[in-house]
Amino acid sequence: MNYDFDLFVIGGGSGGISTARRAAEYGAKVGLAEMGRLGGTCVNVGCIPKKLMVYAASFPSIFKESEGYGWSPVNSSLNWSHLVTVVNQEVTRLNGIYLKMIDNSKVTLFREKARFLDEHTVEVGSSQIKAERILIAVGGHPVRPDIPGIEHTVVSDDLFTLPEQPKRIVILGGGYIGVEFACIFNGLGTEVTQIIRQEKILRGFDEDIRTEIQEGMGRSGIRMFTSTCPTLIEKTDDGLKLTMAKGETSEIIVADAIGLAATGRIPNIANLGLELAGVEIKNGAIAVNAESQTTQPHIYAVGDCTNRINLTPVAIGEGRALADTVFGGKPRLMSHQNVPSAVFTQPEAATVGLTEAQAREEYGDDVKIYRAKFRPLYHTVSGGEDKTMMKLVVQQSTTKVLGAHMVGEHAAEIIQGVAIAIKMGALKADFDATVGIHPSAAEEFVTMR
């Protein structure tokens, strides 16, 4: 069979573009279809604009804390329109960089939607393209829960471009996206209420991280309703009226905006024609093996559409491993173990490896916990109330460090370095033998006893 491309990629996010470029570097003829903005969720409605807004939200606390060091009070106000404009300008700049990278790699870009016609044929606009291998990298999108009046809410993707800053906002959901947006809007001066179905935020994270962040959010003024379910949303002259139920009781909140920031995301696999290609869907995601192959060995999938670990660096790693293996003659697998991650809340958190609960489930009593909680030096003068929490999860018999968790300033930067040690199988003795940098918060990881 004559093929138009050695590899055709459906989706122009981080995973799809990194795979396409790496394969092209090895000499493969590559095509890529993306009808939306290049860069996917991370660049356009995720990591990048979110982190910029996290920075913006941090300035009021810095202004206040500076007074403890002798600076005069700062009277400043936020220009919401300017913030939204500069954030989106940066997104647009990155879109241009992605386009240049594709052009420089000699990847053929199709600005239309793609769908399968059969296992080797893809319909792109009015064209039919045949490819020897095909990669699906279509990402995911937010889910709207089935609540009467849900059409009056905005999903997390839209919170970056609200025309006006809401004076009052309700965030539905307690996952990492929800708590990040709650902290962002709180820092920017919006009155924030968060509603979660469970007793604690951040299900799946270490219990100490969940507790420390939830308490920190409460201290910062975020109002949180736990074990509570929204039941009705109505548009009124005073704003959006939200009715919620907790057990046998109900309560009403009125807000200017209701954000669905953490009610789940699902793969963008509708209308892809996967059934025509014989690609299996399992639990709402594309089923793949360790080599990112679907049920058709020549069709691959990476990133959020596989619902393995939905993080941008993971999608990039999966894609590059695929390209190295198939086109570069360098067989390797992307490891999904000990993947570090962060939650950009106030206070910030980061984690790598097993939680305490996961370790005890796997190793039983053969687990020892090292934990430190202290007031950072910065706040001894600033007057800030946030504490730093650090934690190591260790297998007692081998002294292997199974996990590291932190809540506090610069947690992501610190855990990134710790993750290297854990990935290499470091023992607690290796941490103990490492000289700390003094004075720093990070040194606590090598002085815990």
User: Would you name the residues annotated as active-site residues?
Assistant: 438
Q: Is 306 helix (H, G, I), strand (E, B) or coil?
A: helix
Cβ atoms within 10 A of the Cβ of 203, count? Answer: 12
Q: What are phi and psi of 77, to 5 degrees?
A: -130, 155
What value, to the nearest 5°, has the Cα angle with vertex 58 and ends 47 and 381?
140
Count of all residues that appear for the chain in the document: 449
DSSP codes joined into one string, 88-130: HHHHHHHHHHHHHHHHHTTPEEE-S-EEESSSSEEEETTEEEE
The amino acid occupying position 161 is T
End-to-end CA distance of the chain: 65
Identify the helix (H) or strand (E) that includes residue 23. Answer: helix 14-25
Distances (CA, A) of 71 to 58, 66, 67, 165, 369: 17, 6, 5, 29, 41
Beta strands 388-395 and 168-172 are unpaired
Nearest-angstrom CA–CA distance, 339 and 337:
6
- The tokens describing 358, both together, are 């996961």
Residue 34, number of CB atoms within 10 A of its CB = 25
**CA 1 – CA 298 distance, rounded (Å):** 14
Structure tokens at 393: 């999860």
CA 193 to chain CA centroid, nearest Å: 21
Is 12:34 a contact under the CB 8 Å cutoff?
yes
